[in-house]
Amino acid sequence: MPEIFLKNVSKHFGRVVAVDRLDLQILSNAFVTLLGPSGCGKTTILRMIAGLETPTEGRITIGNKVVFDSDHGINLPPNKRDVGFLFQNYALWPHMTVYQNIAFGLENLKWSKNDIRSRIEELLAMLRIDQFENRYPSELSGGQQQRVAIARTLAPGPKVLFMDEPLSNLDAKLRMEMRAELKRLHRDTDSTIVYVTHDQQEAMTLSTMVCIIEKGQLQQYAPPLPMYNNPANLFVADFLGNPAMNFIDGHLTGDGVLSFAGLQARFSAFNAVTLGERDVTVGIRPEYVRIEKDGALEATVYSTLPSGMETTVKLEVNGVSLTSVVFGDVDFQVDRKVRFSFNKATVLFDRESGRTIARGALTLL
């Protein structure tokens, strides 16, 4: 039973198409991330589901309730959709204390004073901000404001939660911490979460499903790890993963011989597909470019970025630059020669359309 259902939803701002005929199915209890570069329409999608924005056309259902249908003139206001929304800048009311901020929504629902108090105490304890009850938002740090905003959103116990880049205003350390807490929150509250972000790592680590959007169009909708390994196209492959995937222009002959970066290799696809002769882009994840003593190939070290846990190495092979990730606290001398090999999967993309042709292994000739 799908919890949220978008059918053929479009949004136009004047002549600009922000969202183009989007179909999306969000299952109950899912943690779905809308991921994409800024201006791709992901926030607009979220705001349309929440009712803060009116779609130009299409149909949206939440649970069994049709909340928007352009054909039938249905458009429920946000307060009738029974959802929670966490804003990027928290949107805490500056003139209310932490307690008043959280109580406000419960007062609207005509909760009794005692119920409100016990609910707020429960939330404050859960988010570990009990000592700030009587402070004003301006007297809290960013992380504390964030927690208050979460408490305010959770207070009425909505079954569907929308979050619009809620961690983007926090510093790196706090962001990591809040990520873990959001994931825990998802489990503890048994809710469906739709989450907007432009941070691929956030999407990878948090969600059960990732929805990648570009220029208002859905690129791929899949669980994070399968999407990482089986990107639908070049855009998705490029967007996921840090450091980004290596892309090398190459040519594929009809009999499966791939020439790229001055190398010749046989490409054997994992699935049965007809490859056909064409120009391709070869995609190799940095962790599959293995620097090892008995590697089959030789490269020059261009630069190294050791971080302690792993080292990102830029290599140069026949004038083509390659990124490699080596795990552990190792470093390399710049301008020295190293040996390396391609390990595990390689993805071939059609150069013209950017679409994925096949995933497979390389055997050097």
Q: Which is nearer to another protein, 159 or 351 (CB)?
A: 159
How far apart are alpha carbons 56 and 12 in whole angstroms?
A: 6
Asked if residue 162 lies in contact with residue 83, where contact means CB atoms within 8 angstroms, the answer is: yes
- Binds another protein (CB under 8 A): choice among 4, 9, 48, 83: 83
Q: What residue has token string 């804003």?
A: 87
Binding mask 119-138 for another protein (x = CB under 8 A): -----------------xxx
In the bound complex, what is the minimum distance in angstroms from residue 79's beta carbon to another protein? 4
Query: Under the criterion CB under 8 A, does residue 216 sit at the interface with another protein?
Result: no
How far apart are alpha carbons 128 and 122 in whole angstroms?
A: 10
Binding mask 46-75 for another protein (x = CB under 8 A): -x--x-xx----------------------
Strand duo 263-269 + 356-364: pairing = antiparallel
Asked if residue 207 lies in contact with residue 319, where contact means CB atoms within 8 angstroms, the answer is: no
Q: Which is nearer to another protein, 78 or 243 (CB)?
A: 78
- DSSP-derived letter for residue 233 is B
In the bound complex, what is the minimum distance in angstroms from residue 168's beta carbon to another protein? 10
Which part of the chain contacts another protein (CB under 8 A), choosing from 83-91, 290-298, 299-307, 309-317?
83-91
Rg (C-alpha) for the chain, rounded Å, is 24
Q: Which pair of tokens denotes residue 19? A: 């969202």
Query: Under the criterion CB under 8 A, does residue 108 sit at the interface with another protein?
Result: yes
Least Cα distance to 124 among 148, 157, 142, 156 occurs for 148
What element of type H or E holds 282? Answer: strand 278-284
Which part of the chain contacts another protein (CB under 8 A), choosing from 27-35, 61-69, 100-108, 268-276?
100-108
Query: Under the criterion CB under 8 A, does residue 364 sit at the interface with another protein?
Result: no
Asked if residue 50 lies in contact with residue 91, where contact means CB atoms within 8 angstroms, the answer is: no
Query: Under the criterion CB under 8 A, does residue 15 sit at the interface with another protein?
Result: no
Q: Which positions lie near another protein, rule CB under 8 A?
A: 43, 47, 50, 52-53, 77-80, 83-85, 87-89, 91, 93-95, 104-105, 108-109, 136-139, 152, 156
